[in-house]
Structure formats: C-alpha cells, structure tokens
Structure 1
Amino acid sequence: MFTKLIAAAFAASVAVTGAAHADTDMPFALDWKFEGPAAPYFAAIDEGFFADAGLTVEISEGKGSLDAIPKVATGAYPIGFADINSLMRFLDQNPDAPVTAVMMVYDKPPFAVVGRKSLGVETPKDLEGKVLGAPPPDGAWAQFPIFAAENDLDMSTITVEPVGFPTREPMLAEGKVASVTGFSFSSTLNLKRLGVPMEDQSVILMADHGVDLYGNAIIVNTDFAKANPEAVTGFLKAVAMGWKSAIADPAKAVDALIKRNPAADAGLETERLQMAIDANVMTDYVAENGMGGVDADRMASAIEQTKSVYEFQSEPDAAKYFDSSYLPTDGSLMLK
C-alpha cells in the first residue's frame, strides 16, 4: 500500500507536531523555478507573514508538477505547489497517496500553446501541419488532449517533438518548432529574453479555447495536515497575504525573489508576475469570493473534461482532490 511505503519517509522528513508554533518547519516545494509568480511566497517570508503564523518556511525549486506532487505525497515536503489536474491523475494511479489540494491559486490556468506568427501559428487550427514542441512532464502538455478535442484538431497532422524544459523556448526562437506548450507567462517572457518580440508571439490560452479546468494549487500531505491543522491554515493565510502584497506592489515582491535568484532580470520577472496576477490569479471569481476556493459546478465540469481524454481507474471524486476545510475564515483571502 502506498501509505505504508511512504510512512518511513514521512516520519524522517517532517516532524509532526500539534498546533503551529515557532519551530514548526514547513518546507515548501514549488513546481518550477524562482521566477516572477513565485515572488509572493518570498514576500510572505520577508514581510513576516509565515513567521507571524509560527512557521519556518524554506522554498525549493521544482521541475514541474510531476516532480512536486510525489515530493508531498511521500512526505519529503509537507506542502507544495502543483497542477490540480495532474494531481487528479496521480491520485487515480496512487489512490492511497496522502496528498490533496487545499488552496486554489491559479483560478484561471496558464496552460497555453505559444507560437510564432512568422511561422504561421496564430489560432488553434494553425497547429495542424506543423511541429509542436512539448516537454513530457509539462502541465500544459498534459491538458493538450482536451484542448485538441475541444478545437477539433487533427492530431495526425501535428508532429509532436518531445523537448526538454531548458530547450523548449530556444527551439522555438530558432524556428526548429513552430509552437510549444507551456505556461503563458513562462514561455512568452523566456522567448522575449531570447530576442523574439512579443508582436511575433501568439499566445493561445487553453482556457479561452474550451478548456474548463483549474490550474495550480497549494497541495498538502494529508497526514501532516491532520496532525497540524493550525499550521496549514496559518500557511494558507500567509500565502494569501503574500499575494495581496504582490498585487499591491509587484516590484517590491520581485525584490524578495531577486534576493534568492540574483541572476534573474527584475524587470522581466515583474512583468511575468503581473501577467500571472492579471490572467490567472485575480479573476472575477476571486475578486468576488476571495482566493483559494473552487466552484463545485466548475470542478465537476473539469472532471468531466478530464474523463473525456483520460480513463480513470475508479470513479473520480472531487472531495479527494480538493479540501477547503483548511482555508482561513477571517477575511484574509480577499485580495482587495
């Protein structure tokens, strides 16, 4: 059983305590690099939001959601950040894994196909007859079958080139592929840095073309959460406050990021953060309801879309994928 296999790793890596207090360590596994959208979490450290909750938080880079989810499921990290759709499939394949999502961050997912207009890619149908670069562990690539089905794409005419994350944008910049799958705010600005002007880029956001999914969420090891409910709620409150601070002053939040990634371009990462805020985090739903929660009807629709391209081993259960019970109820989730 998965639970038995991870028990030793969990016990060795995470000290299970009761209520949150000064020495509650909560290492946090990101899904990706220290880029603009990660700035709110560093702002939460530097502005003392985690410390106010009695938490010591150290943030680690990731290599995609398929890297972050097992880290949390095995207990190597008590908490992380990953695509909820990838989490659904992971839990279907590992039904005993003690991991679930507890706070939605990307209410509108950044899954995108980014192409170059000069290479003939501006609309979904333009992908036919061309080469698409897709990293196998990429969250956007995982949702591409839904996007393809919703847009009636003839996959037999699309050449899919498996690429690595480091080579994805360089290959598009060099014209070796006509488009790539990725997060909109990552691929576009990486291309810009490589000299591809924004006016030559086409950003086909899957959410604008029939894909009714949620995006990345805070995920937690459920064994840890059950033993430390106050710590988890305190962590989520600090995350919300970090995002609220970043929305008010993106450049200041990016300053906290640059401390951890001095090689990053502050201007570019501020632009990347602002893109995530505008397109993915601060949606109409979040403006009205606050960040963190999910709409039950939309979640059901997302599961149905996933079922159309993925054969679940057992009947999917939304309650297994998202648990709202740890969200703070003190109004801190309202971002404005």
Structure 2
Amino acid sequence: MIKASLTAAIAALSLATVTQADTNANFTLDWKFEGPAAPYFLAVDNGHFAEQGLNVDISAGQGSLDAIPKVATGAFPFGFADINSLIKFLDQNPDAPVTAVMMVYDKPPFAVIGRKSQGINGIDDLEGSVLGAPPPDGAWAQFPIFAAENGIDVGQIDVRPVGFPTREPMLAAGEVDSVTGFSFSSYLNLVRLGVPEDDLTTILMADHGVELYGNAIIVNTDFAEANPEIVTGFLTAVAAGWRDAIANPQAGAEAVIARNPAGDVEFETLRLSLAIASNVLTEHTAENGMGRIDADRFARALAQLATTYEFQITTDAPQYFTNDYLPAAELLTLQ
C-alpha cells in the first residue's frame, strides 16, 4: 500500500514536472528586435526561462498601443509596454484584464534629439525651431508635460507630424531641427544615417522634470491570478537576463542579431549599452533592484499625466501596477 502510494506520488510529481516544462509563456515586445530586447533573448539562450519551466516565444511589436491589447485580450500572457500608455488604456477600458508587474525602464527614454548644426543645443533652442513628431510616439505624448515643466511655449514650435520610418531621415536631411523619440533608438538611427555624433543633442525628458516611469513587463491578470507561480518564474528569468546583458552587452547584441540578421552587432551593442546606462541602472535600481516602483514618485507621475490627459476614473497606483508577483529582492539585483 505504501509502495503503491509512493509510486503514485512519483508519477504525479513527474506529470507536474512535464506540465511545468511544457508551459508556454509567449511574450510580445513593444518594438523590433533591437539591442534593448537582448535581455529577453539571453533569458532564452542562457536557460533562465527553462530553469523556471517555461517555454517562451518572443514576438516583435509595433509600439505599446499594439502590445497592450495583445495582452489584454489574452493573445499573449506577457508583454512589454510603456506604463503611461497602459494607464490611459485602462482609463478607457477599466475592466481590461491587464496590469504592469515589473518596472524595467525606471527612467523613461522619452527624449528630444536635435542637431547642433540645426541650432539645437538645449531646451532653450526649441522655441522657434521645427520639431518632427510621429503622432503615436510615446515621447511626443509626454512632450506637453516636458514643455510645462520647463516653461516651453509649444505654440512657438513648428511641430510637423512625421512617420516612424521617416523621422530620423528627415532630421538627417535637415528637414526638421529635432525629433521626439526614444533616446537610444533615435540617436543610434541618426548615427547610422551618417549624422556625426558630436552634432547630436539628446535632451532626456526625465532629466528635466518629467517624473514618469517608462516601459514595464505587463501581464494578463486572468492568467496571472490562475498562474501566480508562472508569473513569478517569468520575472525571475527576466531579471537574470538583464544581469547577463549588463555583464556582457555584446553577447546580448549577438543574441538579438541571431534573430535579426539584418542588424549590426556593434550598433545594437551600443543601443543596449545606452538603454542600460540611461534607463535601467539608476540610483533607485542600484539600491532596490529592478522591478519595483516608488509610491510617492508614481503619485507625482499620475499627477503629471493628469495635466495633459483627462482621466475618466479616479487614479491610483494599484490599478496599474502590482509588486505581488515579483521574486525575492536578491533575485532582482542587477549587478
């Protein structure tokens, strides 16, 4: 009887192991396979997801407004998206089953990138200039907050709507004086187009009064409530992938290029290094590890968003972010 029970227990344990090993946890990015996506590919290649019993397929995206509905509908259990876009999405769709569970860009990459040869050396040069801004761009969405915090009269700027594919080429051609975009992406795209690095001015909004957070790992809440251990395992692997990328950015870039052969290892190494230095490794993450938010700062961020966006419902951090699925603090250290 004891032997039979033991045999049954072993069989059950084996079945549980197989089931866990077969768990699919597909993940949608917000953008293309570029340097900042390296940690997730390293989590695959270095076995971090497998250690958590997860089989993860990573898909490219077309912006946060593409990634968020994919997770909310359950098409993907996990995604990567700008938390400010998520906040607005949930304000308009309050019952949508999606929330942020791990902050990645503690310092958002929203930036204005200008050319010194076009007269842009700093914030004071924006008035009277021509600014190219894609209407769906996350950085452009936050530009009014940046302008308000720095006393910029947007009416004194010639804002021209541009497409994502034409944004950097127009600046490279001198058709606009600056553009809004993610600091690490637009900067590298311009260098790749032949613009000298010493001709570029990068104005990071987070360095000039913008309290907002950036991109976070998001999850379908129905999935998370049913599979909390899977979510924690996924986030544990993500943190390990970021540690690997920080320790060896070139290896991270090589993991990206293995999936995007049209890319360039040198450029993606630099793009990843820029994201690490400017957006991920901050004073807060050095002290607290990655993933968590500061409640007071988040409240200030919500107040800033309210200056440019009319909320339909009362705003409160737990509506948009939870620490409940994060692993132990020692697993969230970055270095």
Normalized against structure 1, the TM-score is what? 0.93
Amino acid at match of 1:128: E
Hey, what does 2:305 align to over in structure 1? 306
Instruction: Give the distance between the partners of 2:163 and 2:23, measured in 1 at CA.
Output: 36
**Aligned-residue offset at 1:123:** 1.6
Hey, what does 2:71 align to over in structure 1? 72
Once the two structures are superposed, the pairs formed by residues 1-336 of structure 1 within 5 Å of their partners are: 21-329=20-328, 331-336=330-335
1:237–1:327: 8 Å Cα contact kept in structure 2? yes
Secondary structure of the corresponding residue to residue 242 of structure 1: helix
Q: Which runs of 4+ in 1 moved over 4 A?
A: 17-20
Amino acid at match of 1:226: E
Secondary structure of the corresponding residue to residue 236 of structure 1: helix
1:18–1:227: 8 Å Cα contact kept in structure 2? no
Flag the 1:249–1:301 CA change in 2: closer, same or farther, 3 A.
Answer: same
Amino acid at match of 1:97: A
Secondary structure of the corresponding residue to residue 199 of structure 1: helix
**Aligned-residue offset at 1:176:** 1.0
**CA offsets, 1:153-201, max 9 Å, x none?**
1111212211111111011101111111110000000000000011000
Percent identity over paired residues: 69
Instruction: Give the distance between the partners of 1:20 and 1:28, measured in 2 at CA.
Output: 19
Amino acid at match of 1:52: E
Q: Which moved more, 1:320-329 or 1:154-163?
A: 154-163
Secondary structure of the corresponding residue to residue 330 of structure 2: coil
Flag the 1:18–1:206 CA change in 2: closer, same or farther, 3 A.
Answer: farther
List alignment gaps of at least 5 residues for structure 1.
Answer: 1-16
Amino acid at match of 2:239: A
**Aligned-residue offset at 1:22:** 1.1
1:20–1:55: 8 Å Cα contact kept in structure 2? no
Instruction: Give the distance between the partners of 2:324 and 2:297, measured in 1 at CA.
Output: 19
Secondary structure of the corresponding residue to residue 253 of structure 1: helix
Instruction: Give the distance between the partners of 2:258 and 2:239, measured in 1 at CA.
Output: 21
Instruction: Give the distance between the partners of 1:305 and 1:319, measured in 2 at CA.
Output: 17
Q: Kindly report the root-mean-square deviation, in angstroms, between the aligned alpha carbons of the 2 structures.
A: 1.5
Q: Which moved more, 1:153-162 or 1:178-187?
A: 153-162
Amino acid at match of 2:123: P
**CA offsets, 1:92-131, max 9 Å, x none?**
0111111110000000111000000100112223111122
Amino acid at match of 1:134: A
**Aligned-residue offset at 1:31:** 0.6
Secondary structure of the corresponding residue to residue 307 of structure 2: helix
**CA offsets, 1:223-243, max 9 Å, x none?**
111111111111100000000
1:65–1:138: 8 Å Cα contact kept in structure 2? no
Instruction: Give the distance between the partners of 2:182 and 2:21, measured in 1 at CA.
Output: 36
Larger Rg: 2
**Aligned-residue offset at 1:20:** 7.5
1:20–1:53: 8 Å Cα contact kept in structure 2? no
Secondary structure of the corresponding residue to residue 168 of structure 2: helix
Instruction: Give the distance between the partners of 1:20 and 1:134, measured in 2 at CA.
Output: 47
Q: Which moved more, 1:221-230 or 1:326-335?
A: 326-335
Instruction: Give the distance between the partners of 1:191 and 1:33, measured in 2 at CA.
Output: 17
Hey, what does 2:7 align to over in structure 1? none
2:80–2:215: 8 Å Cα contact kept in structure 1? yes
Secondary structure of the corresponding residue to residue 313 of structure 2: coil
Amino acid at match of 1:200: D
Secondary structure of the corresponding residue to residue 106 of structure 2: coil
Q: Which moved more, 1:313-322 or 1:156-165?
A: 156-165
Amino acid at match of 1:285: H
**Aligned-residue offset at 1:308:** 1.3
Amino acid at match of 1:227: A
**CA offsets, 1:18-64, max 9 Å, x none?**
99711111111101111100011000000010111111111111111
